[in-house]
Structure 1
């Protein structure tokens, strides 16, 4: 494990993170694996660097490390071929350092990264800095969505500042195209299995599946209707684009939550700030793509029906304010009417992506890890051949899985076919 990084890289991490002022020597370092299951696209550890400062004091600094799988070489090969891990590393190494970072102009919206190799990244330890993830299967409420929208708007504002103020109008896609390529929304086995899974859920469990006429329409037309997503993820000549995150499911956020001073208990409903994690499927597309990915991946339909319009207004006002701090006028970049029009244009991206991803990530905790370790052929089939059997099983026996998936499937059917 300790061979993952060199002592010279450890020194660079300490230096880049401004952990020590002045001279220091790295005395030793170690890598401690983070407990729990590995991530789907990488593995996680802590890097602890022991430093001797110029005054002779010894001090330890801890960092978070994510790297390509080293325990599952088959998974590593797949990730390397897609380029999905390297994409994020290059974003952190080449693009994000060019973003405006001064505290008076920009709020914190991502973790700091102190070393970015194509196979490994060393980042600030967000837990040590007061951030937490949401408890498993706890619903995101208005407090979470407002903070997420604000961080998302900040990322988009930084993109526009880089493109317009610093690069004088050169498109980010032209400058950083090597890191903004499509890896996910493609005619590949993983994504196509996900789209077929939406159709399976629509046919076997949606509220429209008991109507023979509707069911016949779904069977005959749904695949061709869903194919429009491949046009929607192509570069836009119609709307202003930014770097969009897209992978906005519940594990890709960490929050600062208030603590009760008397009991020490955490108020998980009212976060004060939020950072975005994992930029492995970043793309250059209009902001409406991120807005709808967040809304459909993170909220239930009753919540969307109640708060959607207020979230649209909050995003636009937040983006307006953040652009002003960067000496940019939203009316010349993304007028309100254009933003509203783009929301309608890209709604299907959020609907279908949430259907694909929720069928995958909302399975019971540990289920996919167990499948991967103990039933590798079944895991392979689920990922790359067909999810239908697993989707049908958990629609039947897991209420959380069923309610969240059918929320988005029903709304997708209404959008595609006008079902009522």
Structure 2
């Protein structure tokens, strides 16, 4: 295996034998496939506080004198003891493993019943392995999919394409929950629950209070300091409440972390979006669709989209949801636009808290000072939340 010195963090088991076995299992029609060379490098640096360790692999193969090349992504448990323990307790990796092994294949089987949707997929192909702590996925970058520039946030074209894909994912989860009610049990809320109240408070309250102090120093925005302190005092109760799936209420399988860095776009020669893939299913939860929508809307669109096209985004989402349910014969299970708007209103605190805690990360901004991208974006959001009675 060819490795560069700066990539010494690659585990030794990511070797020729591992990839050869994995590829042969995936391609039963190619039992003579031989791996000739493997190049692996980490995608994430040591110390990154993520739910998994990520590696990019390029595999040179040979079969019947023909050369083949595979581009793969490997996800494994984080190596740090603390993160490994947290991932196990919250079922983070188990949830994503379940998504790729059972949920996505079941969704794709539904799509295969409709000729026009037969080739549709939501994410990368999974290559099953014998390791229960590892996922091997196709590298979507090699097929032309790419991330949008997150510091610029998403324009209307990107937002509509992303929400149509999310709507299809949600629609198929509705059908799965009808056909196999127990299929959603794996995705019960595991973080925003009463048993983790102390942990949630340790994360939310200091972040919100620190943000309140920062905002209070911005000319013309001083009033928002006390408003955010009030949010901090109620945030834990509110978030636990809105994350809970309530009997009889609208519920879908949420992606749980639907923001610009987990959405890959493919373009034509005119830079129009032609397809969308979703990645990173570690935070999936069975809950109101408004949670995914709130998180996306208040972290990822640019300001003009959020200001001028918010209702359009909801209508595009709802139309795609209805179209997928209808073509598969489940149109009667579509909730109304009025119900969706009410869900968005009821779950508005989730969007507010998400913006407060995650916007800096989404924008890739360490600088939150005067005239920073974060300051300009967050000031617009504060005024938006105030105008809509959320702050």
Shift in CA distance, 410/230, structure 1 to aligned 2, threshold 3 Å? farther
Instruction: Point out the more displaced range, 60-69 or 123-132.
Output: 60-69
1:115 aligns with 2:123: no
- Aligned pairs for 1:115-264 (under 5 A) are 115=128, 117-164=131-178, 166-167=179-180, 170-173=181-184, 176-177=185-186, 179-183=187-191, 186-189=196-199, 192-205=202-215, 215-216=225-226, 218-219=228-229, 222-224=232-234, 227-259=237-269
Shift in CA distance, 91/252, structure 1 to aligned 2, threshold 3 Å? same
Other structure's SS at 1:127 match: helix
1:45 aligns with 2:94: no
Q: Tell me, yes or no, if the aligned pair for 1:207 and 1:410 is still in contact at 8 Å.
A: no
**Aligned partners of 2:69 and 2:150: how far apart in 1?**
31
1:30 aligns with 2:41: no
Q: Tell me, yes or no, if the aligned pair for 2:37 and 2:60 is still in contact at 8 Å.
A: yes
CA RMSD of the aligned region, Å? 3.2
**Aligned partners of 2:387 and 2:210: how far apart in 1?**
16
1:96 aligns with 2:104: yes
Instruction: Point out the more displaced range, 300-309 or 210-219.
Output: 210-219
**Aligned partners of 1:67 and 1:228: how far apart in 2?**
33
Q: Tell me, yes or no, if the aligned pair for 1:363 and 1:401 is still in contact at 8 Å.
A: no
**Aligned partners of 2:59 and 2:35: how far apart in 1?**
8
- State TM-score, norm by structure 2: 0.82
- Aligned pairs for 1:313-324 (under 5 A) are 313-324=315-326
Q: Tell me, yes or no, if the aligned pair for 1:239 and 1:338 is still in contact at 8 Å.
A: no
Shift in CA distance, 344/32, structure 1 to aligned 2, threshold 3 Å? same
**Aligned partners of 1:361 and 1:256: how far apart in 2?**
21
Q: Deviations for 1:114-133, whole angstroms, at most 9, x for unmatched residues?
A: 12654221001101111111
In structure 2, the partner of 1:390 is none
Instruction: Point out the more displaced range, 271-280 or 24-33.
Output: 24-33
Instruction: Point out the more displaced range, 92-101 or 285-294.
Output: 92-101
Residue 232 of structure 1, CA deviation: 0.6
Other structure's SS at 2:347 match: helix
Count residues in correspondence.
372
Instruction: Point out the more displaced range, 312-321 or 91-100.
Output: 91-100
Residue 33 of structure 1, CA deviation: 0.7
Q: Tell me, yes or no, if the aligned pair for 1:202 and 1:209 is still in contact at 8 Å.
A: no
1:79 aligns with 2:91: no
**Unaligned residue ranges in structure 1 (runs of 5+):** 261-266, 368-393
- State TM-score, norm by structure 1: 0.76
Other structure's SS at 2:282 match: coil
Other structure's SS at 1:228 match: helix
Residue 323 of structure 1, CA deviation: 1.3
Q: Tell me, yes or no, if the aligned pair for 1:105 and 1:326 is still in contact at 8 Å.
A: no
Q: Tell me, yes or no, if the aligned pair for 1:208 and 1:410 is still in contact at 8 Å.
A: no
2:374 to 380, 398, 401: 401
In structure 1, the partner of 2:360 is 359
**Aligned partners of 1:58 and 1:221: how far apart in 2?**
59
Q: Tell me, yes or no, if the aligned pair for 2:216 and 2:224 is still in contact at 8 Å.
A: no
Residue 276 of structure 1, CA deviation: 0.9
**Unaligned residue ranges in structure 2 (runs of 5+):** 1-9
**Aligned partners of 1:192 and 1:113: how far apart in 2?**
36
Q: Tell me, yes or no, if the aligned pair for 2:43 and 2:56 is still in contact at 8 Å.
A: no
Aligned structure 1 segments of 4 or more residues deviating by more than 6 angstroms: 211-214
1:288 to 282, 290, 299: 290
Shift in CA distance, 242/9, structure 1 to aligned 2, threshold 3 Å? farther
Q: Tell me, yes or no, if the aligned pair for 1:256 and 1:272 is still in contact at 8 Å.
A: yes
